[in-house]
Structure 1
Amino acid sequence: VMLKLGTYGFIRFGLFLFPEASHFFAPLFLTLGVIGIVYGAIVATMQKDLKRLVAYSSIAHLGFIILGTFALNTQGIQGATVQMVNHGLSTGALFMLVGIIYERKHTRQISELSGMQKSAPVLAGVFTLVMLSSIGLPGLNGFVGEFLILLGAFTANRWWAVVAATGVILAALYLLWAYQRVFHGPQNPEDEPTKDLTNWERLTLLPLIVGIVFLGIYPKPMLDRIEPAVDKLVSHIEETIEGGSFTEPVPTTQNRTSFSDLLMQTHESHGHNKHDSSHHGDHDEGHDSGHNGDESHSGGHE
């Protein structure tokens, strides 16, 4: 949850309050998103610890979310929002499964784990399903978000989408490699058979599995709920950039004075005051001259 608060902040506040700045810095964030995808995938491929592998895969997934967010179109932002939900389901389930494996084997080193499928087939099956959803297999939840993100990125700039697509290939590489090492191969005869999932563990994983399958087969309810807000956000960004207006969330003309209007009012007020002072000065001078004339007339009479 905490990992996605940053991307939620970008979508909820950053794009809405600062659309011009978001548009200006979009190429930078798109580049950082692609770097995060490729870097996270490459580093995950080199990990020997199963938990660290899942952690670096999260970096790659967050790169996809950044890529979709700063594509600044409906498909990209909608895909980024969906992917935040999907990442919580898939990666949350992966971390839970890694914890279950560690509780049984007391190690997370991939080289020390082998042949677990023979003694724990249900654990292996659930791990396979969650792993494939993290890869983005069609029919599971991860495919929906990644497809929309790549579609939006391709609309914004095709080269970012092409480079990001390599992250999908690398994700399949390191996750399938980890699965093959952990669950297949010969089992160490010195190790005790791995205990399969208990009923409580299956019940705990069941909501995540239902979400993974349901959102992959029928994502329409979630997409319909997200689409109106995304359309409004994209329209706000486009109107602000095309109109060159300020970036208030709800711009109005009532009780609002722009900087240029304020300068004009100040100039007019200054000119009015100057005119009044000159008028009063002329009046005072005329009054004084008349008064002096009366005094000279009085002196002549005397």
Structure 2
Amino acid sequence: MTSTLPWLTILALLPAVGAVLCLLAGAHAAKVVALLVSLLTLVLALAVAVGYTPGSGMQYTEQVRWISPLGAYYALGVDGIGLTLVLLVVLVTPVVVLASWRDLDPDTAGGATPLTPRQVPAGSALAPKYDSKVFFALVLAVETCALFLFLATDVFLFYVFFEVILIPMYFLIGGFGPTAKRSAAAAKFLIFGLLGGFVMLASVIGLYGLSAAAGTPSYLLSDLSQLDIGTVTGRWLFVGFMFAFAIKAPLVPLHSWLPDAAEESSPGGATMMVGVMDKIGTFGMIRFCLGLFPEASQWATPVVLILATLSIIYGAVLAIGSLDLMRFIAYTSISHFGFIVLGIFALTTQSLAGSTLYMLNHGLSTAALFIAAGYLIKRGGSRDITAYGGVQKVAPVLAGLLLFAGLSTLSLPGLSSFVSEFMVLAGTFSRYPAYAIVSTLAIVLAALYILITYQRTMTGPLAARLDVTGEDRIRDLSGRERLAMAPLVLLILALGVFPKPMLDLINPAVQATMSYVGVTDPAPRVTAEGGR
């Protein structure tokens, strides 16, 4: 639908306004502003979702000429895939705000004397560079950039926000990390992001040349999809986009920035990075790689499937051996992003719909896992898994939520990730059975890394340094902390048993993408009657 009121612009700019207000307010007022603005953005996004009609193409479209010589437009629109990720962004942001409410307040460790483990040598723990109002402003800035990215229907506009989102994320890592390594981790994140953006820029310029040669320069997706792009040219342009998205996703071997960035981030910052920002990579693969370069996407499929399968196994194996809680979650995400990329390039309706749903479910489960881990770290003063043990004896609710988030991450049946992971594997198996079979090994590895981590931190005798009484004893979750986790828990359960509303939203957009790429699902394999 085309609306006279720019709903999508209002939706995307609202967090930016909130970010400015946070910077102008006092420390406590900034928290309130961030929470109210993020909740208002959530309500507005839900209103857009209610008014959206599945199967009717791009809706709520806005289009204004922006830079005429370049053919760039300020153009926004939303389809089922984009709306799914918009809903993820607007849900995760208020959860992060509420969960991080007191993270930057002094003396709120929740009990237990802070430890200086080998990951944080004595004297190296650093105070945040900025106060809480800057943190909440940066969270809202990431939200507004992500919304513009999922709504943009102009390649140039998308590219601008693809680069801009690096700025608030850089400061979230470098300004609020726990150790002196935070600056190096933030710099590595920025270098990888800028490298991907630089390579993508070459392809963006190439699209301008093609559209100009066709008559009128334009960066609108609707115009670019009609261009007759030569095979060789299309493949080179595809490589530029795919390289940038493979860094953002991230895909092995372009992944090494993520574990460092997650390890040196605050739990809230890591949630925005992995739960929200990294989805831009896999979204871009669908919207731009498949949407603009269908022939090149099929040409690159064998290589991408190999890298996706490698990411699935590699991330799972390294997660098993990780001793840093934040780094551990980052490795699990590398494995899960491998599943998402596998489903995208398996090019079946089931796998592509599963990947889109997986982006939503991974965002929910990873947010829950990062936030629960953050609660534990805040109380125990350490990110070292070996520094804990027996926490369930003194904080059973925290232990239960960590286990729940972990079970969702390993795709336990009945929880949301199971549906999407099963769809990816089933859809992939119908066209590429070997990759599906190898990837299934990660299900076993996921059970290992989640249960081993839970066993090390939560079961057994209470760790000696935690076995104290009085004010220093670890306290269980407060009402605010439980409230922050509640929406994630409820949605993980609801989508685990009833994913139909989201699939009804996603499937028409997936079918349109498959039709444009020119790929049909493999015919079912039927055994001849009597043959057994």
Gaps of 5+ in 2: 1-275, 521-532
Q: Does 1:219 align with 2:499?
A: yes
Separation of aligned partners in 1, 2:295 and 2:411 = 33
TM-score by length of 2: 0.44
Query: Which runs of structure 2 are paired with 1:255-270 in the superposition (5 Å)?
Result: none
Cα deviation digits, residues 85-135 of structure 1 (max 9, x gap): 001000011111111111100001111100000111111111111111100
Q: Does 1:110 align with 2:385?
A: yes
Separation of aligned partners in 2, 1:58 and 1:130 = 13
Larger radius of gyration: 1
Separation of aligned partners in 1, 2:378 and 2:314 = 30
Separation of aligned partners in 1, 2:499 and 2:474 = 36
Separation of aligned partners in 1, 2:519 and 2:388 = 56
Q: Which residue is equivalent to 1:32?
A: 307
Letter in structure 2 aligned against 1:206: A
Q: Does 1:166 align with 2:470?
A: no
Shift of 1:239: 6.4
The structure with more helix, counted as a fraction of residues: 1
TM-score by length of 1: 0.78
Shift of 1:163: 0.6
CA contact (8 A) 2:347 2:519 kept: no
Query: Which runs of structure 2 are paired with 1:1-302 in the superposition (5 Å)?
Result: 1-191=276-466, 192=468, 193-238=473-518
Separation of aligned partners in 2, 1:27 and 1:238 = 17
> What SS does the aligned partner of 1:70 have?
helix
Cα deviation digits, residues 165-202 of structure 1 (max 9, x gap): 01111111111100011000111244233210100000
Between 1 and 2, higher relative CO (CA 8 Å, sep ≥ 6) is seen in: 1
Letter in structure 2 aligned against 1:13: F
Letter in structure 1 aligned against 2:312: I
Letter in structure 1 aligned against 2:334: I
**What percent identity do the matched residue pairs reach?**
48
Cα deviation digits, residues 63-103 of structure 1 (max 9, x gap): 00000000111011000000000010000111111111111
CA contact (8 A) 2:373 2:402 kept: no
Q: 1:107 to 1:162 in 2, by over 3 A?
A: same
> What SS does the aligned partner of 1:22 have?
helix
Separation of aligned partners in 2, 1:188 and 1:220 = 44
Separation of aligned partners in 1, 2:357 and 2:474 = 35
Separation of aligned partners in 2, 1:188 and 1:91 = 26
> What SS does the aligned partner of 2:517 have?
helix
Gaps of 5+ in 1: 241-302
Shift of 1:155: 1.1
Q: 1:60 to 1:190 in 2, by over 3 A?
A: closer
Letter in structure 1 aligned against 2:460: G
